Amino acid sequence: MKNTKTCSKCNSKNIIRIPGKFGGFGSGNNISWGISGFSGVTVTRYLCCECGYSEEWIDNKEDIENLQKKFK
């Protein structure tokens, strides 16, 4: 959905992008690590407004590399 702007389940083009964020007490759409609740990367969601299917993506290549170092 991120690249095609089309739902892979129902073929709808009614897709919205929900940016990741960090919130208090670890809330928000993110992958966190470390002591601070703000250590980590944000995860962007793409949601089909017709069938409800969603995908999650890490948008920043550097964030992907950091996750790979941390969790590999």
pLDDT digits (tens, 9 = 90+) for 41-52: 999 999 999 999
Distance (Å, whole) CA 53 – CA 72:
29
So what's the pLDDT on residue 60? 92
Q: Which of 69, 59, 54, 63 is nearest to 12 (CA)?
A: 54
Q: 6-21, pLDDT tens digit by residue? A: 999 999 999 999 999 8
CA 35 – CA 13 distance, rounded (Å): 40
